[in-house]
Structure 1
Amino acid sequence: MRAVVAGGGIVGLTSGLALRRKGIDVVVYERAPEIRAAGAGLGLWANALAVFDGLGVGEQVRAIGKPGEMYFHDTAGRLLETPEFGVEDHRFLLVHRAKLTDLLADAVGRDNIRLATGFAAYDEHTDHVTVRLADGSEETADVLVGADGAHSAVRAQLVPGKPAQEHIGHHAWRAVLPDPGLGLTGNRIVLGGDRCRGGYVRTYDGGVYWLVNQFGAKEPTGTLKEQALARARHLDEGEHGGVLAELIRATPEDLILHNRIMLVPPLPHWASGRVVLVGDAAHAMSPHITAGATLGVEDAALLGRLLAPAGDVPAALAAYEADRIPRYAHVAELSAAVEHAPTPQEFARHYAAFSHWMLTSAAGNPVTA
């Protein structure tokens, strides 16, 4: 069996690795001229780490990460407690996106990755799929995996009329500061006023990852640093915005990333007989639940479990879709409960409820809602 994966991000590379470990011939096509990751820090939950363990790279992933715990505080620094949930529902591993992407590319095998070659279209047949590429070449495969992100070209053909949509007013600012010089000894995530959330976590190599999110934001003005600082003022009762503001001020402007959050609406299907979507191509979601990559890694693992070198591809993709769509319908409900929580305490409680559900529902592979 031969598989073509469109997209060389974290989920695309994990998909390639999962399929290769099943003995499937895989080639990954990436539009960019190099394997690279947009973004800074990335939280991986225990269910993603279990996938990487099963793929033989778990220890390598842990070696580029720093364990952390996702607890929230109010603007006075008080912990927003969630006593009905255990510490295991708050634990995650913070990794740098670019380092994880490089690690996965090495695991897949650089010879199995074609750079600067984007997906253009496909022609699906009963017993194969012809993948047409942007350079005019073609690949014949048994299955095409669309892992090409929120603005997926594979999704545009498989499910027409379902482009990514802006999550109106939802913006995020973030950066990794290699040497903050502040002697930080802990992590801090704060739920503040004006629908802002933000904070900082230490990275495995001594740096700090900081972030600021805002729901219902007006159109940002000023430099990226000024935009981030304006939100940081809602996250600390001190006059100057506290440690988070210090970190933002110390960050060079060109290291600050800003995103308007894009969402993929619910899709009527994720697969056809020979084509399937994984990760953000199928379910790009708001980062306020910090689980998009983890859930996408689960997609890759399930696809790898269901496809087999001599197996029935349409049946495997149908089983994958039947598992994924109900699961993500429930993810959307839990995510909305977090987003629309009326108070910081309720936000913290709904967030812990989501992570508890995600971790416990992932225990019985394949995962189901």
Structure 2
Amino acid sequence: MRAVLIGGGIVGLTTGLALRRAGIEVVICEQAPEIRAAGAGLGLWANALAVYDELGLGDEVRAIGKPSEMYFHDPAGRLLETPEFGVEDHRYLLVHRAKLNDLLADAVGRANIRLSTGFDAYDEHADHVTVRLTDGGEEQGDVLVGADGAYSAVRAQLVPGTEAREHDGHHAWRAVFPAPGIPVPDDRLILGGNGCRGGYLRTQDGKVYWLVNQFNSPPLTGTPKQQALERAAHLEEDGRDGILSRLIEATPDEVILHNQIMLVPPLPHWVSARVVLAGDSAHAMSPHITAGATLGIEDAALLGRLLTPGGDVPAALAAYEAAQIPRYEHVARLSAAVEHAPTPELFARNYAAFSHWMITPQSRSQPQHAETGRARA
């Protein structure tokens, strides 16, 4: 069996690795001239690390990451308690996207990756799929995997009219840099007013990753640095040390990344007989739950289990869709409970409820703790 994958990001590369470990030949087509990653820090939860353990890459992934914990504070520095949940529901690994991509590319085998090769269209046949590429060439495969992100060209053909949409008023700013001369005694994630969240984390290689995001943002003015500082003001009460603002001030302008958050609408289907979507191409969602990559890695693992040499491709893809669409409907409900929590206390509690469900398979069919009303006394 041969698989053609579109997209050389984390999900595409992980899918390629999972399929190769299953005994399937793969070719990964990446439109960029090199394996690279847009963005900065990335959180991998326990379920993603379990996938990399299964693929024989767990130790290498942990070696490029920093064990971290997702606890929230208010602007005065007070910890927002989540006594219903254990420490394991807060733990994740912070890695740099580019380092993870390089590690995955090496594991897949660079000879199996075609760079500067974008997707044009596919022709689906009863027993194979022909993939037409932007360089004028073609690839033949038994299955086509679209792992080409929120703006997926594969999705545009498979499910027309499902373009990525703006998450109105939701913006994010972030950077990774050495932060010379600014002491950062601990990691800190803060829930503030005016829909602002943010904080800073120390990375495995001694740098600092800071982030700020805002829901229901007014129209943006000024430079990205000025925009980030304006939001950081809602995360630092008078008298606090102002580490976040100092980090933003010290960051070179060209290092700061700003994004209008984009979402993929719920899809009526993710597959045809020989074409399948994985990761953000199927379910790009708001990064406020910091789980998009982790959930996409699970997509990759499931495809690696269902697709087998000589197996029934349409049946495998149908099983994948039957498992994943209901799962992501539930992800959307839990994510909305976090986003629309009326208080910082409920935001923290609903976030922990989401991560608990995500990393605990047996909890997925059980009643959830996420709340949208007033916090309990």
SS of equivalent residue, structure 1 residue 189: strand
CA distance in 2, matches of 1:143, 1:150: 20
- Residue 62 (structure 1) aligns with: 62
Partners of 1:337 and 1:241 lie apart in 2 by 31
Contact 1:180 1:247 in 2 (8 A): no
Measured after TM superposition, the shift of residue 127 of structure 1 is 0.3
> Could you tell me how far apart the structure 2 residues matched to 1:317 and 1:363 are?
25
Paired residue for 1:44? 44
Aligned mates of 1:240, 1:347 — CA distance in 2: 22
Give distance in 2, aligned partners of 1:363 and 1:347.
20
Does the Cα contact within 8 Å between 2:224 and 2:258 map onto a contact in 1? Answer: yes
Which residue in 2 is equivalent to 1:343? 343
> Which AA in structure 1 matches 2:75?
T
**Which residue in the other structure is 1:114 paired with?**
114
Equivalent positions of 1:255-266 (< 5 A) are 255-266=255-266
1:273-305 CA deviation, whole Å, 9 max, x = no partner? 000000000000000000000000000000000
Give the letter for the 1:99 counterpart: K
Equivalent residue, structure 2, for 1:332: 332
Match of 1:281 in 2: 281
1:201 aligns with 2:201: yes
Three-state SS of the structure 2 residue aligned to 1:20 is helix
Q: 1:47 touches 1:362 (CA, 8 Å); kept in 2?
A: no
Q: Which residue of 1 aligns with 2:374?
A: none
Shift of residue 51, structure 1, vs aligned partner: 0.4
**Deviations 1:124-178 (CA, angstroms, capped at 9, x unpaired):** 0110000000111111100000000000000000001111100000000000012
Structure 2 matches for 1:131-280, cutoff 5 A? 131-238=131-238, 242-280=242-280
Aligned twin of 1:316: 316
Partner of 1:92: 92
SS at match of 1:234: helix
- Write the distance in 2 (CA, Å) between the matches of 1:322 and 1:283: 15
Give distance in 2, aligned partners of 1:190 and 1:27: 42
Write the distance in 1 (CA, Å) between the matches of 2:182 and 2:362: 38
User: Per-residue CA shift, 1:309-351, capped at 9, x if unaligned?
Assistant: 1100000000000000000000000000000000000000000
The aligned counterpart of 1:130 is 130
Contact 1:179 1:206 in 2 (8 A): no
State the match for 1:300 in structure 2. 300
Count of matched residue positions in the alignment of Structure 1 and Structure 2: 365
CA distance in 2, matches of 1:249, 1:55: 41
Q: Please tell me whether the aligned partners of residues 65 and 93 of structure 2 are also in contact (alpha carbons under 8 angstroms).
A: yes
User: After the TM superposition, which segments of 4 or more aligned residues of structure 1 sit over 6 Å from their partners?
Assistant: none
**Preserved contact between residue 283 and residue 328 of structure 2 (Cα < 8 Å):** yes
- Structure 2 CA distance for partners of 1:172 and 1:362, relative to 1, 3 Å: farther
Contact 1:146–1:276, Cα closer than 8 Å, also in 2: yes
**Aligned amino acid, residue 290 of structure 1:** T
In 1: Cα distance, 2:29 partner to 2:344 partner: 43
Give, as a single letter, the amino acid of the residue that structure 1 aligns with 2:102: D
CA drift of 1:113 comes to 0.2
1:30 counterpart letter in structure 2: E
Distance between the aligned counterparts of 2:59 and 2:180, measured in 1?
A: 27
TM-score (norm 1): 0.97
- Cα separation, 1, equivalents of 2:307 and 2:111: 22
Query: How far apart, in 1, do the equivalents of 2:120 and 2:55 lie?
Result: 30
- Note if contact 1:155-1:281 (Cα within 8 Å) is conserved in structure 2: yes
3-state SS, counterpart of residue 73 of structure 1: coil
Query: Taking structure 1 as reference, are residues 31 and 362 closer, same or farther at Cα in structure 2, changes over 3 Å only?
Result: farther
Q: Give the Å deviation of 1:363.
A: 8.8
Distance in 1 between residues matched to 2:287 and 2:312, nearest whole Å: 35
Contact 2:210 2:244 in 1 (8 A): yes
Letter in 2 for 1:214: Q
**1 CA distance for matches of 2:149 and 2:362?**
23
Does the 8 Å contact 1:180/1:208 carry over to 2?
A: no
**C-alpha contact 1:264 1:283 (8 A) present in aligned 2:** yes
* Deviates most, 147-156 or 214-223: 214-223
CA distance in 2: counterparts of 1:217 and 1:239, whole angstroms: 25
Q: Quick one: distance in 2 between partners of 1:358 and 1:96?
A: 22
- Aligned to 2:26, the other structure's residue is in SS state strand
Partner Cα distance (1:38, 1:26) in 2: 24
Q: Deviations over 1:15-63 (max 9, x none)?
A: 0000000110000000011100000000000000000111111111101
AA of the residue aligned to 2:196 = C
Decide whether aligned partners of structure 1 residues 145 and 363 sit closer, same or farther in structure 2, where only a CA change above 3 A counts: farther
Distance 1:361 1:342 in 2: 28
Separation in structure 2 between the aligned mates of residue 24 and residue 303 of structure 1, nearest angstrom? 11
Farther off after superposition, 310-319 or 234-243: 234-243
How far off is 1:186 after superposition?
1.1
Deviations 1:243-285 (A, max 9, x none): 1001101100000000000000100000000000000000000
1:2 partner amino acid: R
> Which residue of structure 2 lines up, in the alignment, with residue 19 of structure 1?
19
Q: CA deviation at 1:180?
A: 3.8
- 2:359 maps to 359
| 8 Å contact from structure 1 (residues 68, 94) kept in 2 | yes
- For 1:216, give the aligned amino acid: N
Q: TM-score, normalised by structure 2?
A: 0.95
